[in-house]
Amino acid sequence: MPGSSSAGQAFIESSAASADPAGEEDEDIDLFGSDEEEDAEAERVKAQRIEEYNKKKAGKPKTVAKVCRKFIRLLNYLASLYLSLSLRWM
């Protein structure tokens, strides 16, 4: 019947009883699925990628040498520019 509080109360009590049955324990569920096999595989892949990166990095010139070469080129350019400008005004 509409407006009957006993019908609503009975529905709430029955749904609460079915949602939390007595004597049943919660199960531990691993939602993210972490397995040690996957972790070992990930570590192996990570180690391989680091090794490849280190090999690639070893073949490149050092950063300091690269900066020094650029600086020397800039100085040479500025020196030639200075000489060319100073010769025009003589």
Amino acid at 86: S
For residue 53, what are its two tokens?
A: 């990166």
Reported confidence tier of residue 86, pLDDT bands at 50, 70, 90: confident
**pLDDT score of 22:** 52
Model confidence pLDDT, tens digit, residues 15-40: 655 555 555 566 777 667 656 667 78
Alpha-carbon distance 61 to 78, whole Å? 25
Q: Helix, strand, or coil here: 25?
A: coil
